[in-house]
């Protein structure tokens, strides 16, 4: 069922998945242009077309948010509160301050860390609601000091928002929840409409249309990343339990039929046992058909000659999620160069951090962990530098600056200094 390859025959790809289809690009471009042109009217039309409901107002009232929080299972509400506490404790350590230095008499240099004014957070909703995404996006933004946090999420068929999403919004402290989804929600956040204020940055996961919309509006506003299909890579040896390895691989395959799951192992017997377990466990899943397509089309088991080769393959693939199912897993952490998040040992499934442990679950996909990072407090701030020179300090530096500017042929730069200190 799943492809089994030797490490020697495996050729790593720069990306784990496939590029965006041209029809998605064209459709999203049309939606964005329409939202720019018609604003709320376009949003209502797309909500009717894609979500099957008609809305006069997009904003969810505070009373409805409070009612939703009371309506869900109290035990689940308490679990979300505990998860929020873990997420806050982890992300609080990411808060950074500016600095100031005085390297010479009359010279002051520094950097300020400034929260973004307004951000839009996309949260998948409808039939697949993810309150965990609310916690993972809102909490770092709150810790960063963002002044206004707006959640956009697709409505259910009756026009309401899944109560668990609203409860998570209350726990995390979002300011506004809007019932808008898809590429049209991204366009509204980027450009603004009568009902949707323009934001400085858009974060959060979504389907291929949402990801493409974020790509197209980048530059008009900031984005966290362009998230592709979720993926997982497991490194394991003969000591691993094939039942657990297969279960962890399938935890990502159920996200979508294009979600890659890869096992890299030094033990061929384990690889074959995992292949058998995948077939058994696929029949137990509520999203078994989707997960099966992911395993068939994007799954791989790679037999490495040793652990060094296993980690080389992992670093080449730069997975979103990397599980190290080995004894003494901390001994191998330094071997990991490219991974969105690392899960160490046989008692740390990826799902633990998806919901509860504290690290963010919004991670770089499709091999982009080679150069990008998980969502963090840093995504919700900007940095601004400043400099002060006294008249005497400028005179000391003037000749160097004038020479540098003239060497680059920028005489106006040179003159802006020379005219202050009477140098030619």
Tell which residue, 191, 210, 212, has the closest CA to residue 200.
191
Other CB atoms within a 10 A radius of the CB of residue 413 amount to: 15
Three-class SS state of 4: strand
d(CA 202, CA 190): 8
CB of 134 within 8 A of CB of 142?
no
Q: Among this protein's residues, is 350 annotated catalytic?
A: no
93: DSSP letter: T
- Whose tokens are 């899943």? That residue is 285
**Beta partners for residue 236, in sequence order:** 265, 325
Q: Among this protein's residues, is 298 annotated catalytic?
A: no
300: DSSP letter: E
Three-class SS state of 199: coil
The tokens describing 269, both together, are: 């017997």
CB of 357 within 8 A of CB of 82?
no
Catalytic residue among 320, 323, 350, 366: 320
- Pairing type for strands 107-115 and 99-101 reads antiparallel
d(CA 41, CA 310): 53
CA triple 388-393-399, angle to 5 deg? 115
d(CA 41, CA 116): 28
Catalytic residue among 91, 255, 298, 321: 321
- Whose tokens are 């394991």? That residue is 236
Residues tagged active-site: 320-321
């Amino acid at each position: 069922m799943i492809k089994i390859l030797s490490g020697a025959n495996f050729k790593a790809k720069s990306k784990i998945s496939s590029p965006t289809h041209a029809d998605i690009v064209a459709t999203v471009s049309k939606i964005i242009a329409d939202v720019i042109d018609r604003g709320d009217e376009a949003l209502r039309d797309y909500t009717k077309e894609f979500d099957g409901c008609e809305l006069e107002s997009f904003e969810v009232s505070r009373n409805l948010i409070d009612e939703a929080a009371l309506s869900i299972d109290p035990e689940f509400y308490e679990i979300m509160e505990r998860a929020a506490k873990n997420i806050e404790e982890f992300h609080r350590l990411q808060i950074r301050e500016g600095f100031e230095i005085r390297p010479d008499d009359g010279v002051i240099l520094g950097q300020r860390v400034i929260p973004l004014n307004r951000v839009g957070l996309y949260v998948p909703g409808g039939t697949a609601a993810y309150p965990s995404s609310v916690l993972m996006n809102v909490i770092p933004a709150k810790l960063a000091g963002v002044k206004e946090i707006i959640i956009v999420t697709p409505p259910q068929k009756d026009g309401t928002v899944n109560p668990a999403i609203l409860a998570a919004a209350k726990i995390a402290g979002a300011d506004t929840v809007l019932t808008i989804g898809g590429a049209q929600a991204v366009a509204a956040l980027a450009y603004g409409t009568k009902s949707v204020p323009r934001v400085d940055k858009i974060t959060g996961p979504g389907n291929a249309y949402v990801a493409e919309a974020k790509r197209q509006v980048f530059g008009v506003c900031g984005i966290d990343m362009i998230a592709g299909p979720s993926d997982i890579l497991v490194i394991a040896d003969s000591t691993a339990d094939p039942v657990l390895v297969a279960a962890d691989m399938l935890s990502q395959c159920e996200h979508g039929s294009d979600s890659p799951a890869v096992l890299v192992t030094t033990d061929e017997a384990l690889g074959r046992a995992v292949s058998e377990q995948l077939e058994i466990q696929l029949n137990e899943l509520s999203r078994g058909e989707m997960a099966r397509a992911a395993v068939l089309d994007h799954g791989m088991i790679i037999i490495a000659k040793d652990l060094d080769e296993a980690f080389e393959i992992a670093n080449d693939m730069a997975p979103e999620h990397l599980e190290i199912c080995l004894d003494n897993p901390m001994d191998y952490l330094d071997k990991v160069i490219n991974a969105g998040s690392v899960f160490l040992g046989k008692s740390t499934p990826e799902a633990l951090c998806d919901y509860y442990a504290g690290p963010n679950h919004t991670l770089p996909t499709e091999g982009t962990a080679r150069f990008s990072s998980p969502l963090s407090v840093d995504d919700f701030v900007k940095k601004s530098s400043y400099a002060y020179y006294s008249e005497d300090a400028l005179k000391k530096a003037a000749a160097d600056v004038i020479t540098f500017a003239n060497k680059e042929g920028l005489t106006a730069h040179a003159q802006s200094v020379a005219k202050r200190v009477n140098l030619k």
